[in-house]
A and B are shown apart, each in its own frame.
Chain A
Amino acid sequence: MSLAGQNLTIGYSDRVVGRGLDVALEQGEVLALLGPNGGGKTTLLKTLLGILTPQAGEVTIGGRSLARISIGERARLIAYVPQAHVPTFAFTVETVVLMGRTAHGNLFSRPSAHDRMVAARMLEQFGIAQLASRPYTMISGGERQLVLLARALAQEPQFVVLDEPTASLDFGNQGKVMREIRALAGAGHGVLFTTHDPNHALRAADRAYLLRAGERIAEGAVGAVLTRELLEQLYRAPVEKLADPATGHTAFLPG
């Protein structure tokens, strides 16, 4: 199954953000979406999620038009991990993860024993079971990101879309979240994430999609696309490339 957008014109009712965008995500692979602020990353992400309707073109999942799929079925196919934020009410971590089961019940149903089991399994999987009864507002940013990942997986989706999953995390937690992203693809999910750090794309993604001012600069395997030249073109800023001859790994520094 693949999640794909063909010839998309994306934007809001009063403003077009990007035109002629093609993007495709297969199950089992990780795609990183990179680009400067205001370049259309979030708009493209929300269009692929079905939260925004494309003004032209079509988003398909498994060959079916996303627009024709009910909101509940969509939530069972694609999960969204927003940037970690503090919600209005101090729900417990378990309650937050249980919200991932919304689309598996009807409008009036309480969480079933199976729903609770799935939520508990996800808490276990991300190593946060001990936080289950803590208020979500009182845990650290890194823990919050893991809770949102657990909630997304509780939806039992085929695809997971993450909006800047490493923003506002400390160095250690950034690494942890990237390992989890790799593990998701290993388990057969298609993963799409946005990031401001090309190194995170190098670390966690198979392919990268470079978006500037609503236009695709390049798309392809991270090794081929994440080059000094293309990154300088993408951000209109000087970039320095570092290489570790021992491992063959590369990294980029801004400025």
Chain B
Amino acid sequence: MTRSFLPGLVVALGVLALGLVVAFTVGRYPVTLAELGDVIIARLSGRPSTAPAAVENVVLLVRGPRVVAALLVGAALAVAGTAFQGLFRNPLVSPDILGASSGAALGAVLGIYFSLGVLGIESLAFLGGLLAVAAVYIIGSFLQSRDPILVLVLTGVVVGALLGAGVGLIKYLADPYNQLPAMTFWLLGSLASTTVADLLPLLGPVALGTLVLLALRWRLNVMSLPEDEARALGLATGPFRIAVVAAATLVTSASVATSGIIGWVGLVVPHLARALVGPDFPRLIPTAALLGGGYLLFIDTLARTAAPIEIPLGILTAVIGTPFFIWLLAGMQRNWS
């Protein structure tokens, strides 16, 4: 039952490396490993590449931003999901439980409804996610209870439902020929339109939030104990919870703003990581980050190659996530490990 860290970490790194290679080489315009290596080494060393210009374009401009975005979004959602599962002492929790995704969705459909540009839509989505979670947190702390965790989760569910109604209203009012398809596409999640310009607004929040969660990972074990126990062990649970929620919301909102709504990654990947290295959070967080990046790279490659048209990411992750989850429930008696 006890799994050692190093082999698990190597497997996670392997998945990530394989995901990167597959994402760069597979597609309508196949790139060989040699060409890929040549373009990347040329780029890093600054000498001109010997590969054809078309290959260079595909690797650096077409697939490059998309690969980096998949890597960041996958890692971000996995780390946020892992941290939330510890914080809420429940392995069935995903990073959008406090309404980050519903808030971002409302922000994005509002942006589309008011015909804003890409940057405007993404900014509104990001702000929507942050505001939704802040509202949930403030309402949740306002409602005095002996079980702050339960109140927080229920507040998240309620506020999420309200935001969902808001999304429904905007979709109902939207122009059915131009705006509605854009909204539907955004809500299903995709990295197809990712450009280099999208990467910086994604990288900043994701890096900041992930670093905070990595720094706090030694105390996440204690936080996953019942409230009284964690406090008796010397952890100030209130401020700690705020820090984890803020960091996880930052990465989730930034991810969702870039990619649209991609469910399941933050739920499934932490379980895969636990299967590799066990439940100890100091090991789990870095493993989940690597595995999440690799996982979304595979999914995104599938999304753009499996069918003549792009398959929305949210649909693929659900198709893969649902059977996985049922299998997980079937094994529930064996305890969460």
B234 interface neighbour in A46, A71, A133, Cβ under 8 Å: A71
Q: Any chain B CB within 8 A of the CB of A242?
A: no
> Would B2 and A99 count as touching, CB distance under 8 A?
no
Among B170-178, B182-190, B224-232, B258-266, the stretch in contact with A: B224-232
> A85 CA to B233 CA in the complex, in Å?
16
> A100 CA to B221 CA in the complex, in Å?
11
A92 interface neighbour in B2, B89, B225, Cβ under 8 Å: B2
Q: Count residues of chain B with CB under 8 A from any CB of chain A.
A: 34
Among A27-35, A72-80, A174-182, A213-221, the stretch in contact with B: A72-80
Determine the chain A residues whose CB is within 8 A of the CB of B234 once the complex forms. 71-72, 74-76, 102-103, 155
> Would A80 and B229 count as touching, CB distance under 8 A?
yes
B1 interface neighbour in A80, A108, A135, Cβ under 8 Å: A135
> Would A91 and B221 count as touching, CB distance under 8 A?
yes
Q: Any chain A CB within 8 A of the CB of B28?
A: no
> A68 CA to B229 CA in the complex, in Å?
20
Task: With A88-B224, A91-B280, A111-B218 given, name 12 new contacts (CB 8 A).
Answer: A46-B228, A49-B228, A80-B228, A80-B229, A80-B232, A86-B335, A89-B91, A90-B1, A100-B233, A102-B234, A108-B218, A135-B2
> Would A71 and B218 count as touching, CB distance under 8 A?
no
> A82 CA to B227 CA in the complex, in Å?
11
Q: Which B residues contact A (CB, under 8 angstroms)?
A: 1-2, 86, 89-91, 144, 146, 215-216, 218-219, 221-222, 224-226, 228-229, 231-236, 240, 274, 278-280, 282, 335-337
B219 interface neighbour in A102, A133, A135, Cβ under 8 Å: A102
Determine the chain B residues whose CB is within 8 A of the CB of A80 once the complex forms. 228-229, 232-233
**Which of B91, B144, B234 has the most chain A CB atoms inside 10 A of its CB?**
B234
Could you tell me the distance in whole angstroms from the C-beta of A194 to the nearest C-beta in chain B?
Answer: 14
> A110 CA to B219 CA in the complex, in Å?
9
Q: Any chain B CB within 8 A of the CB of A134?
A: yes
> Would B279 and A89 count as touching, CB distance under 8 A?
yes
> Would A49 and B232 count as touching, CB distance under 8 A?
yes
Q: Show 15 residue pairs from A and B whose CB-CB distance is below 8 angstroms, ordered by the A residue.
A: A74-B234, A76-B234, A87-B225, A89-B86, A89-B224, A90-B335, A91-B280, A92-B278, A99-B221, A99-B222, A100-B233, A102-B222, A102-B233, A103-B234, A135-B2
Given A88-B89, A108-B216, A109-B218, verify A137-B232 contact (CB < 8 Å): no
Q: Any chain B CB within 8 A of the CB of A107?
A: yes
> A46 CA to B231 CA in the complex, in Å?
11
Across the interface, name the chain B residue whose C-beta is closest to A90. Answer: B337
Across the interface, name the chain B residue whose C-beta is closest to A89. Answer: B279
> Would B336 and A155 count as touching, CB distance under 8 A?
no
Given A46-B228, A107-B216, A108-B218, verify A88-B280 contact (CB < 8 Å): no
Determine the chain A residues whose CB is within 8 A of the CB of B336 once the complex forms. 88-90
> A252 CA to B6 CA in the complex, in Å?
56
Determine the chain A residues whose CB is within 8 A of the CB of B222 once the complex forms. 99, 102
> A95 CA to B228 CA in the complex, in Å?
18
> A80 CA to B228 CA in the complex, in Å?
9
Across the interface, name the chain A residue whose C-beta is closest to B144. Answer: A13
5 smallest A-B Cβ distances: which pairs?
Answer: A103-B234, A75-B234, A80-B232, A89-B279, A90-B337
A51 interface neighbour in B225, B228, B280, B337, Cβ under 8 Å: B228
Given A89-B279, A138-B1, A155-B233, verify A82-B221 contact (CB < 8 Å): no
> A42 CA to B235 CA in the complex, in Å?
21
Given A99-B225, A133-B2, verify A51-B231 contact (CB < 8 Å): yes
Determine the chain B residues whose CB is within 8 A of the CB of A89 once the complex forms. 86, 91, 224, 274, 279, 336-337
Q: Any chain B CB within 8 A of the CB of A12?
A: yes
Could you tell me the distance in whole angstroms from the C-beta of A94 to the nearest C-beta in chain B?
Answer: 9
> A89 CA to B222 CA in the complex, in Å?
11
Determine the chain B residues whose CB is within 8 A of the CB of A105 once the complex forms. 218
Across the interface, name the chain B residue whose C-beta is closest to A85. Answer: B226
Determine the chain B residues whose CB is within 8 A of the CB of A78 once the complex forms. 232
> A75 CA to B229 CA in the complex, in Å?
10
Across the interface, name the chain B residue whose C-beta is closest to A80. Answer: B232
Would you list which residues of chain A between 20 and 53 have a CB under 8 Å from chain B?
46, 49, 51
